Amino acid sequence: MESLVRSDLSNYTPASNLSLNEKIRHLIKSGKCIYHFAFGQSPFPVLETAVEALKEHAGENAYLPVAGIPELRQAISKFHETYDGIKSDMDDIIVGPGSKELVFLLLNIFQGDVLVISPSWTTYKPQARLAHHNPHVIETSLDSEWKITPKIEVFRQHNIIVLSDEIYSRLSYDQNHTSIAKFCPEITIISTGLSKWASAGGWRVGYHIYPPQLSALCNAVKSAASHTYSCAPAPMQYAAFKMLSDLESCDSYIKHCSRILKSVSTYCYNELTSVGVKAVQPKAGYYIFPDFEVVHNKLRQRGLETGQDMCDIIFEEASVALMSGGPAFLRPEDELTTRLCFVPFDGGKALNASREIGLETLLPSSFVQEYCTPVYDGIQFLNVYN
């Protein structure tokens, strides 16, 4: 029988991070002790004001405007003006069931070449392929701190539109995030949402902010949205509006979560680099992307060659779960990079402790060991293994 699947998708596979997370969660539920550094989900409880607002609006069941309720889009506009100094009209904002869905719709309606950067989020290239694009991969290296280094003028000279994924922007440890939209606003689409800084990944509320100059793209995505998801979930939209309207609570929550993550990331970076692992010290978010080249010879002596081989043996022998940098993150298979998510700890416990200490007082040096113990222990196990 002739295949019913498009020929260019013959080797198409599920999102690797989600598949691995399901496997690890099943093993943990069955009683196995695993240090789960392979999935980037916020460890913190959802902001209290949002939870209360969700309870209040749980009965909302009507279809809402495709682009999102006006009051939420207005609150989003004010939120980014406050934090990023970026002004936008609410008609240039699209709210959807997660920013991932909006990226996919944009790729579907976009006519042109698609560029992705290596290392890359696991979904960018597969989504581009699903949308009939053959993306070009731009390589970076640890020596350049995994950054591309063109000047802004290059984008304008070559008519490049920038889709700026700023989902972790509010988790900049020193609250000093600067959007590329500040420098080339007319060609930048901001993609973000509530999953990371607001710890509401399962709520599926993301949004894109378009510049007026790209209104044709914005309108086409709105049309595509009307033919696909119809609208983002109603209760979550009203809850998000209430949450974003209380900027004081948001700001306090962001600062507490950011400084906890900074403390954890600094611990991971210092411990890993102390045994010869190479890494760039994180400045935001949940992740570090270490290179375990230091154990390459040891692995070869055991007949192991690839990054996935290394992750498999570390999981088997040390119960530490990591995701290999290649090919999921578009790195070479024989490169020993990994995506390490330093979030398997009780975020509620850590957040309460941070609040008791107060923002005016630095977190103690013992904070990670005392309040983020699984991360502390897991990194020690990993270092001993190395």
Bond from prior residue into 185 cis (ω within 30 degrees of 0) = no
Neighbours of 266 (CB within 10 A): 14
Report the C-alpha gap between 97 and 259 in whole angstroms: 28
Q: What pLDDT, on a 0 to 100 scale, did the predictor assign at position 227?
A: 97
Helix (H, G, I), strand (E, B) or coil at 19: helix
Q: What pLDDT, on a 0 to 100 scale, did the predictor assign at position 378?
A: 95
Alpha helical stretches, state H, the chain: 16-29, 48-56, 70-84, 99-109, 124-130, 152-157, 215-226, 234-245, 247-274, 296-301, 307-318, 347-357, 367-371, 373-385
Report the C-alpha gap between 26 and 181 in whole angstroms: 41
| Tokens 């402790």, located at residue | 353
Residue range 310-319: mean pLDDT, rounded: 91
More confident residue, 5 or 162: 162
pLDDT in tens, 138-148: 999 999 999 98
Q: For residue 149, give every residue at least 6 positions away whose Cβ sits within 8 Å of its Cβ, in sequence order, or none.
A: none
% of the chain residues with pLDDT over 70: 98
Q: For residue 204, give every residue at least 6 positions away whose Cβ sits within 8 Å of its Cβ, in sequence order, or none.
A: 97, 98, 232, 233, 236
**Tokens encoding 337:** 């990079």
Mean pLDDT of the chain: 93
Band of residue 2 on the pLDDT scale cut at 50, 70, 90: low
> Looking at the domain covering 7-45+250-385, what would its CATH class be?
alpha beta
Residue range 269-289: mean pLDDT, rounded: 96
Q: Which amino acid is at 150?
A: P
Contact assessment for residue 259 and residue 354, using Cβ atoms and an 8 Å cutoff: yes
132 burial type by CB count under 10 A (0-12 exposed, 13-18 middle, 19+ buried): exposed
pTM of the model: 0.93
Report the C-alpha gap between 241 and 386 in whole angstroms: 47
Longest Cα separation, the chain? 68
Determine whether domain 63-245 maps to CATH 3.40.50.720.
no
pLDDT of 16 over the 70 cut: no
Q: Identify any residues that bridge with 337 across adjacent strands, giving them in sequence order.
A: 291
Q: Where are the domains of the chain?
A: 7-45+250-385, 63-245
pLDDT in tens, 51-61: 999 999 999 99
